[in-house]
């Protein structure tokens, strides 16, 4: 893969959005507060029925539309439209820490590193629920860190990821199934010339709405089972639509 000099690098951040008009301002505000600014912020409107596209344009984002429903379809469309050498991914209900991109570029300065992921922390108005929900984070990221340190297999976290664009495209992007980050990670591991990194300083605070909607145990079990079965993402798009309408 091509070597990229950090001094002349262009960065794009991609936000897939399905009925996320209320959450976009917080996400974009955090992106614009970065110590290292992004060259472009791309919002992919995935058939939203609310004001998502209008809100994104008013926030100064590049807006593209992806009519094929699904998180992976939207992310992939954003990647194709991007002009960055490095493409980054976050979901509309997430907020990156102010030095997220700065930390990502530090990791990617190593020419051997093609992708870097960071730490997601669930946020909730109820402190007890927030601690409970982040038990999942503790367990999941303990496995991620061990995999990275012991087996040199970096998990590519779909909503907390910076990756060289040519590498992402060579992997075929995200598959349109539940657990899309697991499946792209597997393809990444199968490439002997690719190495990743995990950076604990790349922190993103994400919504715990899925846990609130379906329950903690049911949500985690569902993720595991549906990832194993490669359940199509359109099922989750319908659930997202129902929850957004109820906001």
**pLDDT by residue (tens digit) across 29-72?**
999 999 999 999 999 999 999 999 999 999 999 999 999 999 99
Closest by CA to 162, choosing from 197, 116, 200, is 116
The answer on pLDDT for 242 being more than 60 is no
The answer on pLDDT for 244 being more than 50 is no
Dihedral over Cα of 80, 58, 202, 183: its sign: negative
Secondary structure (H, E, C), the chain? CCCCCHHHCCEEEEEEECCCCCCHHHHHHHHHCCCCCCCEEEEEECCCCCCHHHHHHHCCCEEEECCCCCHHHHHHHHHHHCCCCEEEECCCCEEECCCHHHHHHHHHCCCCEEEEEEEEEEECCCHHHHHHHHHHHHHHHHHHHHHHHHHCCCCCCCCCEEEEHHHHHHCCCCCCECCHHHHHHHHHHCCCCCEEEEEEEEEEEEECHHHHHHCHHHHHHHHHHHHHHCCECHHHHHHHHHHHHCC
pLDDT at site 81? 98
Assigned domain for 25 exists: yes
Assigned domain for 1 exists: no
Q: How many domains does the chain have?
A: 1
How would residue 243 be classed by pLDDT, with cut points 50, 70 and 90? Answer: very low
Assigned domain for 65 exists: yes
Assigned domain for 177 exists: yes
- CATH number of the domain within which 133 lies: 3.90.550.10
Assigned domain for 3 exists: no
Assigned domain for 132 exists: yes
Assigned domain for 5 exists: no
pLDDT at site 99? 98
Assigned domain for 6 exists: no
Mean pLDDT check: name the lowest of 5-19, 170-184, 231-245.
Answer: 231-245
pLDDT at site 241? 42
For the chain, what is the mean pLDDT? 89
176: phi then psi, degrees, rounded to nearest 5: -80, 50
How would residue 115 be classed by pLDDT, with cut points 50, 70 and 90? Answer: very high
Check: CB of residue 46 under 8 Å from CB of residue 74.
yes
138-185: per-residue pLDDT in tens?
877 787 777 777 777 899 999 999 999 999 999 999 999 999 999 999
- What is the extent of the structural domain holding 61? 11-245
pLDDT at site 4? 52
How would residue 235 be classed by pLDDT, with cut points 50, 70 and 90? Answer: low
């Amino acid at each position: 893969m091509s070597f990229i000099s950090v001094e002349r690098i262009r960065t794009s951040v991609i936000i897939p959005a399905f009925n996320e008009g209320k959450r976009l301002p917080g996400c974009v505000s955090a992106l614009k507060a970065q110590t290292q600014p992004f060259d472009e912020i791309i919002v992919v409107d995935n058939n939203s029925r609310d004001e998502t596209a209008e809100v994104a344009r008013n926030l100064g984002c590049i807006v593209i539309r992806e009519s094929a429903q699904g998180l992976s379809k939207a992310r992939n469309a954003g990647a194709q439209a991007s002009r960055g050498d490095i493409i980054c991914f976050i979901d509309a209900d997430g907020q990156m820490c102010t030095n997220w991109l700065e930390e990502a570029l530090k990791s990617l300065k190593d020419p051997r590193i093609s992708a870097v992921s960071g730490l997601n922390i669930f946020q909730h108005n109820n402190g007890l629920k927030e601690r409970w929900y982040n038990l999942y984070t503790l367990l999941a990221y303990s496995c991620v860190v061990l995999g990275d340190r012991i087996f040199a297999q970096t998990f590519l976290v779909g909503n907390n990821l910076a990756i060289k664009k040519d590498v992402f495209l060579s992997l075929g992007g995200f598959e349109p199934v539940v657990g899309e980050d697991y499946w792209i990670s597997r393809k990444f591991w199968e490439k002997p010339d690719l190495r990743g990194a995990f950076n604990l300083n790349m922190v993103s605070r994400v919504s715990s709405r899925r846990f609130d909607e379906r329950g903690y145990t049911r949500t985690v079990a569902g993720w595991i089972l549906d990832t194993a079965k490669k359940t199509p993402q359109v099922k989750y798009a319908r659930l997202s639509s129902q929850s957004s309408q109820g906001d």
